[in-house]
Chain A
Amino acid sequence: MTELIIASIMTMMTAATPLMFAATGELICERSGVLNLGLEGMMLIGAVFGFAAAAVTGNATLGLLVAATSGAFAALIFGILTLNLLSNQVATGLALTIFGTGLSALVGVDYVGETIDQIGSIHIPILSDIPIVGRLLFGHDPLVYLAILILLGASWFLSRSRWGMILRAVGDSDVSAHAIGYPVIAIRFAAVTFGGLMAGLGGGYLSLVYTPLWAENMTAGRGWIALALVVFASWRPARVLFGAILFGGITILQLNAQAAGLGIPAAFMSMLPYIATIVVLVLISRDAIKIRLNAPACLGRPFRAER
């Protein structure tokens, strides 16, 4: 029984990790005032290019780097379209998801069914050998720790650093930031790119560590869950950690419930993260002030400096 619980918690963390990566990136992006709905597409692009790189070179770490870079490239396209050419962020984001789905399927045709060397769990002598706690705290793969570190870093960055403050100013009042001389578009570019980088990493984690293999459309809606997660967390990084584990947990619960033969339909379980998000949204919307304080005021609004 203990073994089962430990195993469940371990898989819950691996399920939460891609959500953490993607949601942290999207959170930073949204805090700068840009809504990128292309998360699912960027994750798929990261997943397929990462996997392809690892399959060709045999180096999974290199695969992760490629995954992150390709995600960032996809975000860059989004940035040029929405920030420079002022296209609609919602429409462009949806287009990016559709584009990513198609591109990844095309690139991935040759890699379906191939396997690679997985990045394994870390093993720290002594610490990892402590019964139960050792495995729970020190027995994950390194990327789990990286995701948590980046998340905590983002939290510190937003609330404690000067640049985080500037980023929030850009997202909350772009004209004010412009008036004191900050390059609003450049800052948003940086945030969008970071969002793509993280989404790519999240996708790469799926194809290189979580499964590890490539299957068409393998993100299976995780990009959308990560998007929902940002709202669920009301744009606070610390809450993303909690939400990611919760949503990851629901995914695992769903698998276990199926395995155990409980009569709950799988489709119902897949709905849970979204239902949770809607409930949270309804709850925080009841207090109009609260949602106004949390959501970046300029989210989704194009900015153009008048000259």
Chain B
Amino acid sequence: MPTITPNSQIDQLGGEILLEARGISKGFPGVWKHLILDHIDFDVRAGEVHTLLGENGAGKTVIANILSGYYGKTAGEIRVKGQPVDLRSPRDGLRHGIAMVHQELMLVPAFTIAQNVMIGLQTSSFSFPLRKVEKRIGELAARYQLKVDPRARVEDLSAGEQQRAEILKVLFHEPEVLLLDEPTSLLTPHEADHLFVVLRAMAQEGKGIVFITHKMKEVFAVSDRVTVLKLGKTQGTQPIANTNERELTRKTFGETVPEYMERPPVRTEDKAIDVKNLVPQSMENKGPALGLSFELRKGEILGFAGVAGNGQTELIECITGLRRAERGEIIMLGRNMANRSPRAFIELGVAHIPERRREMGVVEPMFVAENVVLKDYRKAPFSNRSVLNRKEITRHSKELVARFNALVPDLWETESRILSGGNIQRLILGRETWQRPPIIIASHPTEGLDAKAIRHTWELFLALRENGSAILLVSEDLDEIMSLSDRIGVLFEGAIVGLVDAKSADREQLGRWMAGGASEAGAP
């Protein structure tokens, strides 16, 4: 690792240091004692792609937000081309040539792309040059091969198009440093590859690119240098040539997660779920006319892969009673459950680990213990003739919190709102699986968990499978799908476009299915 002296702006890597963080710390006092960022040193040079690698919750997003002026810092110094600067707002960042593409895109849905670009411009005029902006977007789009229609409304665009629009929006400010927070999370593998070409081209022009990811493969596809963050601390910066995947994995996760979880074969042909020609509400005109059909045996894990927005949410909501089924049958444990109430599903023994855990998994302002018994409070021993048995609830919550290693300050004083996403997920996993339900519908169950917790969750799922539970796993994380599933299906535009045995599954093939079958689809 080259040593950087603050005074020399040029070193052996060639590029000028455009943006530099020195000893940046960030803490949210009062909530957690540890710092979210602990004395981070980081810099990006002209002409390079510098990757920030780390797990969810490592602090990648926070440091990027501080460097772009979005968040304030508790301590430390930011320098632009060697000069200390004080970034008080995103606008200050832009003024210094620093732009950020947020993971959750910052576009006004009701506006067109051109209008979105325009409101960000610093012109003094009262009116605006819409035509000029549209023309310039066209030029930028051609230069960076980011194909978009400037007059399209953002809400009508696909995730990939929205992201291209967002990148074009910040490019309009001619930034010297561009920070991208997990830009590949909404893209198909092919679209991601295209993005890497674009990022390399920008670096070639002399821009400094900060690329944030938690996916190891992407690091080697695009970076010049890589900095690993772990729990708010930097694990050092290295040129990509001086490191390898194993070393980075060890630094990032500490412990590695297995590629495939060994398990005995499925023992029975008994069906737990048999879905026939299901057409969820609002998918009437989007999905296939015949709807979705699949079956899931007892003691089997079926994984559904696919880019978000291809019908996963609609399917899951249908088979948990949250959305109407326009047509088709949902046979669960021998009963047709189509259009039954969510409670009917719960009473049948369908556990649901939802995708939006904060919104749907817990009631955020309620205490931890209350959330733990959110589904079971009606029954003994947690309540007796409508009166809650607090003692029993406390005992039960304490047990689950301990068993699932959730970090919870107090059962009856901590609002679930202040817990991290990972801890909320531990509570949900505990609540949904402690009774060993016959059917488990899990959406992104390990997102935001660290390697140890991921391994625990996977082991839990396999134990439940061993016990005869049928598990439907929906995830955007192909690694997880491949590690855990017995069979893998791919959803694209509301249809199951491929279904294979997990042992014979091929990553390339799954990727092609995710992009819609044809190998060149999904990207300009």
Question: Which residues in A have some Cβ–Cβ distance to B below 8 Å?
Answer: 160-163, 165-166, 168-169, 172-173, 175-183, 293, 297, 306-307
| Contacts of B170-224 to chain A: CB distance below 8 A | none
A307 touches B90 (CB 8 A): no
A-B contact pairs, 23 of them (CB 8 A): A162-B119, A162-B126, A165-B115, A165-B128, A166-B119, A169-B111, A172-B108, A173-B108, A173-B109, A176-B106, A176-B116, A179-B70, A179-B90, A179-B100, A179-B106, A180-B169, A181-B90, A181-B92, A181-B93, A182-B119, A183-B89, A306-B70, A307-B71
Residues of chain B lying within 8 A (CB to CB) of residue A180? 90-91, 94, 106, 119-120, 169
Other A-B contacts than A161-B127, A165-B111, 14 sampled, CB-CB below 8 A, are A161-B126, A162-B118, A162-B123, A162-B125, A162-B126, A165-B119, A165-B128, A166-B119, A168-B110, A169-B108, A175-B106, A179-B100, A180-B94, A180-B119
Question: B79 contacts the other chain (Cβ, under 8 Å)?
Answer: no
Residues of chain A lying within 8 A (CB to CB) of residue B123? 162
B175 CB to closest chain A CB (Å) equals 12
B91 touches A181 (CB 8 A): yes
| Contacts of B95-119 to chain A: CB distance below 8 A | 100, 102, 104, 106-111, 115-116, 118-119
A272 CB to closest chain B CB (Å) equals 32
- How many Å lie between the Cα of A165 and that of B120 in the bound state? 10
- How many Å lie between the Cα of A163 and that of B92 in the bound state? 20
Q: Which residue of chain A lies nearest to B153 when distances are taken between CB atoms in the complex?
A: A293
B90 touches A293 (CB 8 A): no
Q: Which residue of chain A lies nearest to B107 when distances are taken between CB atoms in the complex?
A: A176
Interface size class of B (residues with CB under 8 A): 20 to 34
Max chain B Cβ within 10 angstroms of own Cβ: one of A165, A176, A297: A176
Question: B288 contacts the other chain (Cβ, under 8 Å)?
Answer: no
Q: Contact flags (1/0) for B79-92 with A, using CB distance below 8 Å?
A: 00000000001111
Max chain B Cβ within 10 angstroms of own Cβ: one of A160, A165, A180: A180
B89 touches A181 (CB 8 A): yes
A289 CB to closest chain B CB (Å) equals 9
Q: Which residue of chain A lies nearest to B89 when distances are taken between CB atoms in the complex?
A: A181
| Among candidates A162, A168, A181, A307, residue contacting B128 with C-beta atoms closer than 8 Å | A162
A42 CB to closest chain B CB (Å) equals 28
B380 CB to closest chain A CB (Å) equals 39
Residues of chain B lying within 8 A (CB to CB) of residue A183? 89
- How many Å lie between the Cα of A177 and that of B118 in the bound state? 11
Question: Which residues in B have some Cβ–Cβ distance to A below 8 Å?
Answer: 70-72, 89-94, 100, 102, 104, 106-111, 115-116, 118-120, 123, 125-128, 169
- How many Å lie between the Cα of A168 and that of B208 in the bound state? 33
B126 touches A181 (CB 8 A): no
B452 CB to closest chain A CB (Å) equals 29
B94 touches A177 (CB 8 A): no
- How many Å lie between the Cα of A165 and that of B119 in the bound state? 7
B256 CB to closest chain A CB (Å) equals 34
B325 CB to closest chain A CB (Å) equals 19
* Contact A172-B111, Cβ < 8 Å, known A160-B127, A178-B90, A180-B120: yes
A186 CB to closest chain B CB (Å) equals 12
- How many Å lie between the Cα of A169 and that of B110 in the bound state? 9
Residues of chain A lying within 8 A (CB to CB) of residue B115? 165
Q: Which residue of chain A lies nearest to B101 when distances are taken between CB atoms in the complex?
A: A179
- How many Å lie between the Cα of A180 and that of B100 in the bound state? 10
Max chain B Cβ within 10 angstroms of own Cβ: one of A168, A169, A179, A180: A179
- How many Å lie between the Cα of A298 and that of B106 in the bound state? 14
* Contact A169-B106, Cβ < 8 Å, known A161-B127, A178-B90: no
- How many Å lie between the Cα of A165 and that of B112 in the bound state? 11
A293 touches B126 (CB 8 A): no
| Among candidates B71, B109, B120, residue contacting A297 with C-beta atoms closer than 8 Å | B109
A165 touches B90 (CB 8 A): no
Q: Which residue of chain B lies nearest to A307 when distances are taken between CB atoms in the complex?
A: B72
* Contact A173-B72, Cβ < 8 Å, known A162-B125, A180-B120: no
A16 CB to closest chain B CB (Å) equals 29
- How many Å lie between the Cα of A195 and that of B94 in the bound state? 32
A248 CB to closest chain B CB (Å) equals 31
Residues of chain B lying within 8 A (CB to CB) of residue A160? 127
B28 CB to closest chain A CB (Å) equals 10
A176 touches B71 (CB 8 A): no
A168 CB to closest chain B CB (Å) equals 8
- How many Å lie between the Cα of A182 and that of B70 in the bound state? 12
- How many Å lie between the Cα of A189 and that of B118 in the bound state? 23
Residues of chain B lying within 8 A (CB to CB) of residue A297? 109-110
B109 touches A169 (CB 8 A): no
- How many Å lie between the Cα of A169 and that of B121 in the bound state? 13
A160 CB to closest chain B CB (Å) equals 7
- How many Å lie between the Cα of A99 and that of B356 in the bound state? 41
- How many Å lie between the Cα of A197 and that of B100 in the bound state? 38
- How many Å lie between the Cα of A70 and that of B144 in the bound state? 54
B91 touches A176 (CB 8 A): no
Ranked nearest first, the 4 interchain pairs of A and B with the lowest CB-CB distance are A181-B91, A180-B120, A179-B106, A307-B72
A88 CB to closest chain B CB (Å) equals 14
- How many Å lie between the Cα of A160 and that of B127 in the bound state? 7
Max chain B Cβ within 10 angstroms of own Cβ: one of A160, A169, A177, A293: A169
A305 CB to closest chain B CB (Å) equals 8
- How many Å lie between the Cα of A293 and that of B115 in the bound state? 16
Q: Which residue of chain B lies nearest to A180 when distances are taken between CB atoms in the complex?
A: B120
B68 CB to closest chain A CB (Å) equals 9
B24 CB to closest chain A CB (Å) equals 14
Q: Which residue of chain A lies nearest to B169 when distances are taken between CB atoms in the complex?
A: A180
- How many Å lie between the Cα of A166 and that of B110 in the bound state? 12
B283 CB to closest chain A CB (Å) equals 15
- How many Å lie between the Cα of A176 and that of B116 in the bound state? 9
Q: Which residue of chain A lies nearest to B68 when distances are taken between CB atoms in the complex?
A: A179
A176 touches B108 (CB 8 A): yes
- How many Å lie between the Cα of A160 and that of B104 in the bound state? 28
Residues of chain A lying within 8 A (CB to CB) of residue B93? 181
Q: Which residue of chain A lies nearest to B124 when distances are taken between CB atoms in the complex?
A: A162
Residues of chain B lying within 8 A (CB to CB) of residue A173? 106-109
B398 CB to closest chain A CB (Å) equals 33
- How many Å lie between the Cα of A306 and that of B26 in the bound state? 13
Q: Which residue of chain B lies nearest to A163 when distances are taken between CB atoms in the complex?
A: B126
- How many Å lie between the Cα of A169 and that of B93 in the bound state? 20
